[in-house]
Structure 1
Amino acid sequence: MARARIEPTIILGPVLYFRGEQAERWRLSVLFILDGETEPEDLRVDGVGLAVPPRHVGSWKTRHVWRFDFAVPRGAEESTVTYGFEEGTRWRVTVPGIGARVRIAYTSCNGVEDEATITDHPAPRNALWADLFDRHAQYPFHLLLQGGDQLYADAVWECPLIARWRARPAPARFEEPMEPAMAEEAMAFYFNHYLKTWGQPEVAAVLSQVPSVMMWDDHDIFDGYGSHPEPMNRAPVLRGVAEVARRTFTMFQIGAPADDLPECVWGGPRGTFSQGFRVGAFGILAPDMRSERTPRRVFSDTTWHDLPLWLSRFEGCRHLLLLSSVPLLYADTGGIERFLGRLPFRTGYEDDLRDQWRSHAHRSEWRRMLKMLVNFSRAYGCRVTVLSGEVHAGGRAVLRGGGTEIWQLISSGIVHPPPPRLYTAALERLAARPDQPMDGYSLEMPAFEESGRRIIRQRNWLALTVTDRGRVIARWRAEGEPAIYEQAI
């Protein structure tokens, strides 16, 4: 008698990842976290002749992370294929046709610093994930770009051993070592927090059907990572916690072990996670703006050297989508930062303001980045559009000058509640001010025709359509808003 096939116990997954376009194939990976030591059977994918074998990515206790890599053939029209184990559940993924429009969803801020506070929001935590999935059911997305804070890991400081360390007086605790038991505690927290956050039905449904490109920001590590004063940044315990966050980030958000990253991670040899892709008439560049961050720097000299080389790989593209976790083009909040810096107490906004490109600490790097993108756009005839989140509101901005035009689209957050009305009103006034960041260049945050306002003060996510000629049509889906905000580029 033939032995009955046992379907693996899936703890989390599938989670799809985009690996790039290769000739007439759409390269994907899919991740499963399974319980137990048994290696899973091969994966079956429509249109892929051979069964796809598993690759072991990592483990925690008895839970093992497995990845399957495959490439789906493409035709002239988009197609939907299914994948799964031979006698188990099957899932769907939609692949764009060759030279056809590509539909993209953009999200950020999938959480909140204290999850207990989300209960005060009038709508369910994952209402916008459900909205995204409903939209996907009507007009399937081919890609999901996740621009930062896919995980809110700030509760790592509540782990018992780490909390006891944090309660000890500074600066003495900044010299204390990271004990192995603390590292074990942090690993349990991050691994289980990914399982809990991504395992929620509305989130899991999207991750299983739309391939992601993810880039981290501070909350994927802990709030303000890299922007804290240097004695804190150098503390062995903070560095040890960040190293655990790094290990789980590569496992869950890239789908690979830290020492064997996929070729789309261009920054891998340098120890960062910057990623790049070419897809028909457009490209995607997601620089890692968190790994090398200090209170005075966004990028290291090495990354500044690499950036022009990475941009040159998009020669021939008509449009480049640049993921900047923090908005590159935004209202100047430097005055607020200076005001808070003079107060004799902390308000909690200091790290967030220091994270901004327009912080007084990063202003020279900000202008350097603007000049680099303007020169690239002019030299290669490639339009640049920046996608960002982090600020818990929606908006747009445009830089004009030197014969170029760079647009900024801001969407945040898909879960994080909007800022207070008073704060939003202050932002609205700042956004209305005329701005000249460099000689010969103007920066504007235009008001939306749909509302007459510059800031979308609702939770939101962004739907993008990229045409075969590289034109981008962007639509914000804002919670409770009957109008859909739109921008064509």
Structure 2
Amino acid sequence: MTDKLVLGPIIGLESDNHYTILFVVKNIQSAVVLLGEQIIRAQCIGEIVSGGVWRADIHVPQKAQGFFVEYKVVCDNKQYQSQLAISEWAFYVPGANEKPKFAYASCNGFSDYRLMNTTENPYSLWDQMKSEHHSAPFAALLMGGDQVYADSIWSAIEPLQKWNELGIDEKIKRPATVDMKKKIDRFYSELYVSRWNQPQVAQILATVPSVMMWDDHDIFDGWGSYPEKLTNCPVYQAIYGAAKKHFELLQVRGPQNRSLIGNLADLKHYSMSLTFGTYTIFALDNRSERTLSQVMSESHWDDIAAALNHCTSGDLLVMTAVPVVYRDFAAAESIVDSTPWEEEVTDDLKDHWRAKEHQGERQKLIMRLLDNAKMRKGKTVLLSGDVHVGCLGVIRDKRETSPINIHQVVSSGIVHPAPTYIQWLGILAITNDDTEYLDENKSITADMLKPYGSNQYIRARNFVTLLEGSDNKLWVNWMLEGKDKPAYPLAAQ
């Protein structure tokens, strides 16, 4: 019988020259990754119900020309296969002067079983990404949130079903029992193994180095945007603890991740910063510390400021799962705030950066990015998902003679379907995309733009590719289901 990994391998990116290989395997004593004749020892960084989580750190010196690195996984002196019966993999390392090709994707799953059962070819865009990779290889895959959808936790675990039927005052009194905690832990373990072993997903994760940051569905829908008494109750905290453990081990690849910018001795958040060629990739953790009144804590903001101070050249890609520039829900929010329905729908509205409680932090983020762009003289691109449509936004700063633009690219989702026509009409009816003025002199504005070759809002499943052309513009191409081929060139400052 062939020895197989439970999950993986999954290749991660942590800097220009530093990659990781992660895999989950049961009942082994030692593991190594083979790069040709080179033997890289792996370490077990933790356990999940499905097995031990092993990580190997790989240093790959750059060469003048791009090349593929081939690797194998050996456990207890036996070569292991993936669940797809593959035992050798390869990933691409760009050349020293090569412009790296990026993919960005989010929303890799379904918020309910009805959508799952009615979606034809759920993983077709992963197949399309594989074709793109074969024609011109991706140097990195940036995954901007909802890498798994954990919303079925409320129906999959019987004790949670019963707890969820209680009134809120009774819910917050109930403890999370040992049995409940075991079932929650098993749920997340099996969720990752099931979703990431989908053949189309597994092939990309094993061959394209990735950087991942979570969003609410990696925990459950709306996490961090519920009333404090619910968020802090024993059952919610038990769920969050299990979700966090699996996120840290499988998406972050452990606290050993070299790109983490927080205090590793007391990790409160998972924001990351890494350099890759002429790019800095900045992944903001907007879930670990989110409450109704904050997105990130003061110490977290200090970490961000320090990381930005080190970003002094090149282009900056900022991963923030929820769009910073998007339609305005203020009218709907004000209605809900004044009705008895608030606790029922507050998570959907308070999740947005433009919710009134988060507007100050949003302004802080925008102004710090503008200050950094002015100093750095490079492109700044926000990469977001969450909203299940693709779109493009821009922040324009005209306070000086040389204007500064920050663009935002939204890609969502690679698996989750877009809103239906009727649902989209409802969203349009309660929101607007009027020009937003971000300072009292009306010299800083935020607007939605229309990509070339499509409608302003791309109501189809999608992912994006980013590649700088010979014109020094960063070309964004939305790859989607349907005949449209949206694209937009982002110019240098």
TM-score by length of 1: 0.91
Q: Is the 8 A contact 1:118 1:417 kept in 2?
A: no
For residues 124-154 of structure 1, what are the alpha-carbon distances to aligned partners after superposition, in whole Å with 9 as ceiling and x for unaligned? 1111111111111111101000000001011
Residue in structure 1 matching 2:326, options 313, 325, 330: 330
Residue in structure 2 matching 1:152, options 145, 149, 153: 149
Aligned to 2:140: 143
For residues 321-343 of structure 1, what are the alpha-carbon distances to aligned partners after superposition, in whole Å with 9 as ceiling and x for unaligned? 00011011112121122234445
What SS is found at the alignment partner of 1:266?
Answer: coil
Letter of the 1:28 counterpart: Y
Aligned to 2:57: 69
Measured after TM superposition, the shift of residue 57 of structure 1 is 1.9
Q: How does 1:452-467 map to 2 (within 5 A)?
A: 453-466=455-468
1:442 matches 2:450: no
What SS is found at the alignment partner of 1:216?
Answer: coil
Residue in structure 1 matching 2:72, options 74, 80, 84: 84
For the structure 1 residues 98 and 115, does the alpha-carbon distance in structure 2 shift closer, same or farther, using more than 3 Å as the test? farther
Measured after TM superposition, the shift of residue 197 of structure 1 is 0.5
Q: How does 1:46-65 map to 2 (within 5 A)?
A: 46=36, 50-61=38-49, 63-65=51-53
What SS is found at the alignment partner of 2:168?
Answer: coil
What SS is found at the alignment partner of 1:102?
Answer: coil
For residues 276-317 of structure 1, what are the alpha-carbon distances to aligned partners after superposition, in whole Å with 9 as ceiling and x for unaligned? 1112221010111111100111111111222211101111x2
Measured after TM superposition, the shift of residue 268 of structure 1 is 4.5
Aligned to 1:162: 160
Q: Is the 8 A contact 1:331 1:427 kept in 2?
A: no
For the structure 1 residues 220 and 237, does the alpha-carbon distance in structure 2 shift closer, same or farther, using more than 3 Å as the test? same
In structure 1, the gaps of 5 or more residues are 1-5
Residue in structure 2 matching 1:255, options 253, 256, 263: 253
What SS is found at the alignment partner of 1:110?
Answer: coil
Q: Percent identity?
A: 29
Residue in structure 2 matching 1:379, options 356, 375, 378: 375
Q: Is the 8 A contact 1:393 1:459 kept in 2?
A: yes
How far apart, CA to CA, are the structure 1 residues paired with 2:298 and 2:471?
35
For the structure 1 residues 361 and 432, does the alpha-carbon distance in structure 2 shift closer, same or farther, using more than 3 Å as the test? closer
**RMSD over equivalenced CA pairs, Å:** 2.1
For the structure 1 residues 163 and 45, does the alpha-carbon distance in structure 2 shift closer, same or farther, using more than 3 Å as the test? same
Letter of the 2:367 counterpart: K
Q: Is the 8 A contact 1:280 1:468 kept in 2?
A: no
Larger CA deviation: 207-216 vs 67-76: 67-76
1:279 matches 2:276: yes
What SS is found at the alignment partner of 2:280?
Answer: strand
Letter of the 2:177 counterpart: E
How far apart, CA to CA, are the structure 1 residues paired with 2:20 and 2:470?
25
How far apart, CA to CA, are the structure 2 residues paired with 1:404 and 1:488?
12
Measured after TM superposition, the shift of residue 432 of structure 1 is 4.8
What SS is found at the alignment partner of 1:285?
Answer: strand
Letter of the 2:41 counterpart: P
For residues 34-75 of structure 1, what are the alpha-carbon distances to aligned partners after superposition, in whole Å with 9 as ceiling and x for unaligned? 13x2234422114xx530112102223462221111122321
Letter of the 2:488 counterpart: E
Aligned to 2:130: 133
Measured after TM superposition, the shift of residue 425 of structure 1 is 4.2
What SS is found at the alignment partner of 1:175?
Answer: coil
Measured after TM superposition, the shift of residue 175 of structure 1 is 2.1
How far apart, CA to CA, are the structure 1 residues paired with 2:104 and 2:345?
25
How far apart, CA to CA, are the structure 1 residues paired with 2:50 and 2:408?
44
How far apart, CA to CA, are the structure 1 residues paired with 2:124 and 2:333?
33
Q: Is the 8 A contact 2:143 2:212 kept in 1?
A: yes
1:32 matches 2:23: yes
1:19 matches 2:14: yes
1:354 matches 2:342: no
Q: Is the 8 A contact 1:376 1:382 kept in 2?
A: no
How far apart, CA to CA, are the structure 1 residues paired with 2:472 and 2:63?
19
Residue in structure 2 matching 1:10, options 5, 10, 13: 5
Larger CA deviation: 71-80 vs 138-147: 71-80
Q: Is the 8 A contact 2:316 2:379 kept in 1?
A: yes
How far apart, CA to CA, are the structure 2 residues paired with 1:130 and 1:407?
28
Letter of the 2:33 counterpart: L
Letter of the 1:414 counterpart: I
Measured after TM superposition, the shift of residue 115 of structure 1 is 3.0
What SS is found at the alignment partner of 1:14?
Answer: strand
Measured after TM superposition, the shift of residue 347 of structure 1 is 10
